């Protein structure tokens, strides 16, 4: 039975001033009213240790530093400001190094005639944020066709990478010398997930993006939006959700104001991922003031389930209790609720059953 969504769950601002300050700063464009709100918050009693802790947890320290240094650096205690600035510079250097490695690997794949699509990481940051320093990313995500996967993996091994972890849709390889991790994908998501975007279709819709003076092609904005929404839903029940993921959605909408919303909704419906998309859009609007189109607003009107799912994610984002009730909601209510098609619910249920079997088996053997 669907519980009633309270006004507090959907509309209330997060109560701690540090959380509100982070939400105000976690964006690349700040208008006059938002700047004034930031200054007002900084006049209060800010727990800077807690603020840095949650900014680190949600991978938004670069945006926090950028906003504070632009609007009112004098209001930040000097030791805190120095720490944020040093972390910002270290992240910028790391991102530049990762981007150069990505370009080297893409060139390697091209030389060996392996079509490859970079997404997330450097490609997303350049396309949505316009500045490689403003987002944290820790690895390189590259998608190749399934028939090219083994060859691509061997090429990475020839460059000093070695297998680290393996899943049915991707494999992670790490270079111990450079400490760079590559997630080599043969699909966007696991089979139990309702997001079967084919490589050929993605390839036909690629868009150019500039990375440190070199033009590469990456996922088109409409495809990327659906994939980012899927990632938010996936990570929510794996208890890995971060504000930075919602920032990606908000920045995509801000930087691409001519999105083909009709095609986005149609494609999401076809993939069985419309609810995932709409939940992520509500979060981007409520937390980061993303401007939604009239089509999306109309679609959301009166949809209690989507609003409830979004309210739950918003609650878990900053105030996760870790209780058994919450864990059950993450394992059952949210994953089943966000899925639209019966077969997708069945596929997820089978996976839960399999994981439960493995857990019982390991306990017996242990």
Assign residue 208 a region (left: φ > 0; alpha: ψ between -120 and 50; beta: otherwise): beta
SS3 210: strand
Give CA–CA dist 345/277, Å, rounded: 17
pLDDT by residue for the chain (366 residues), tens digit each?
Answer: 333 334 444 344 457 999 999 999 999 999 999 999 999 999 999 999 999 999 999 999 999 999 999 999 999 999 999 999 999 999 999 999 999 999 999 999 999 999 999 999 999 999 999 999 999 998 999 999 999 999 999 999 999 999 999 988 899 999 999 999 999 999 888 877 777 778 899 999 999 999 999 999 999 999 999 999 998 988 876 667 899 999 999 999 999 988 999 999 999 999 999 999 999 999 999 999 999 999 899 888 888 999 999 999 998 888 877 788 887 888 788 888 999 989 888 888 888 887 776 665 454 455
- Which pLDDT score is estimated for 9? 42
Q: Scanning the structure block, which residue is given the tokens 């006059």?
A: 32
Give CA–CA dist 294/42, Å, rounded: 35
Q: Which CATH architecture has domain 93-218?
A: 2-Layer Sandwich (3.30)
Q: Integer distance in angstroms from the first to the last C-alpha of the chain? A: 38
Look at residues 79, 55, 57, 50 and name the one whose alpha carbon lies nearest to residue 66.
Answer: 55
Q: Which residues in 183-220 are b (16+ Cβ under 10 Å) and which e?
A: bbbbbbbeebbbbebebeebeeebeebebeeeebbbbb
- Which pLDDT score is estimated for 99? 97
Q: Scanning the structure block, which residue is given the tokens 């507090």?
A: 8
Structure tokens at 192: 């139990």
Within the chain, strands assigned E span 116-119, 140-144, 161-166, 170-175, 180-185, 207-211, 214-218
What is the DSSP annotation of 58-91?
TT-HHHHHHHHHHH-GGGS-HHHHHHHHHHHHHH
Structure tokens at 182: 């590559």
Question: Are the CB atoms for 281 and 153 separated by under 8 Å?
Answer: no
SS3 151: helix
- Distant-in-sequence, close-in-space partners of 313: CB < 8 Å, separation ≥ 6: 232, 236, 241, 279, 283, 334
What is the DSSP annotation of 232-290?
HHHHHHTT---HHHHHHHHHHHHH-TT--HHHHHHHHHHHT-HHHHHHHHHHHHHHH--
Query: Which contacts (CB < 8 Å, 24+ apart) does range 344-350 have?
Result: 344/194, 344/272, 347/191, 347/192, 348/192, 350/192
- Which pLDDT score is estimated for 180? 95
Q: How many residues does the chain have?
A: 366
> What is the distance, to the nearest Å, from the Cα of residue 200 to the centroid of all Cα atoms in its chain?
23
Q: Quick one: 313 exposed, middle or buried, by C-beta within 10 A (0-12, 13-18, 19+)?
A: buried
SS3 94: helix
Question: Are the CB atoms for 356 and 347 separated by under 8 Å?
Answer: no
Q: How many CB atoms lie within 10 A of CB 305?
A: 14
| Structural domain boundaries in the chain | 9-76, 93-218, 220-366
């Amino acid at each position: 039975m669907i519980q009633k969504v309270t006004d507090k769950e959907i509309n209330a601002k997060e109560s701690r001033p540090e959380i509100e300050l982070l939400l105000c700063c976690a964006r690349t464009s700040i208008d006059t009213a938002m700047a004034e709100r930031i200054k007002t918050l900084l006049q209060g009693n800010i727990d800077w240790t807690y603020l840095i802790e949650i900014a680190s947890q949600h991978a938004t320290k670069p945006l926090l530093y950028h906003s504070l240094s632009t609007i009112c650096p004098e209001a930040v205690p000097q030791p805190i400001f120095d720490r944020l600035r040093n972390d910002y510079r270290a992240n910028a250097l790391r991102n530049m190094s990762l981007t150069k490695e990505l370009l080297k690997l893409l060139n390697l794949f091209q030389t060996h005639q392996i079509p490859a699509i970079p997404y997330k990481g450097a490609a997303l940051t350049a396309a949505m944020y316009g500045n490689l320093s403003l987002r944290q990313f820790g690895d390189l995500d590259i998608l190749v066709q399934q028939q090219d996967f083994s060859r691509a993996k061997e090429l990475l091994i020839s460059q000093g990478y070695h297998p680290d972890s393996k899943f049915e849709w991707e494999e992670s390889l790490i270079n111990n010398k450079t400490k760079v991790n590559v997630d080599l994908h043969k699909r966007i998501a696991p089979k139990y997930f309702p997001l079967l975007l084919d490589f050929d279709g993605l390839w036909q819709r690629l868009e150019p993006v500039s990375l440190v003076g070199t033009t590469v092609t990456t996922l088109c904005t409409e495809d990327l939006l659906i994939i980012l929404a899927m990632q938010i839903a996936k990570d929510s029940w794996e208890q890995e959700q971060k504000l930075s993921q919602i920032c990606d959605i908000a920045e995509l909408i801000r930087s691409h104001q001519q999105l083909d919303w009709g095609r986005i909704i149609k494609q999401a419906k076809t993939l069985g991922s419309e609810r995932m998309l709409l939940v992520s859009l509500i979060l981007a609007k409520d937390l980061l003031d993303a401007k939604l189109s009239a089509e999306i607003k109309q679609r959301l009107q009166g949809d209690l389930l989507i609003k409830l799912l979004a309210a739950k994610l918003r609650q878990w984002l900053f105030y996760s209790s870790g209780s058994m009730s919450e864990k059950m909601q993450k394992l059952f209510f949210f994953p089943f609720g966000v899925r639209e098609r019966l077969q997708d619910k069945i596929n997820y249920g089978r996976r839960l059953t399999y994981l439960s079997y493995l857990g019982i088996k390991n306990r017996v053997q242990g």
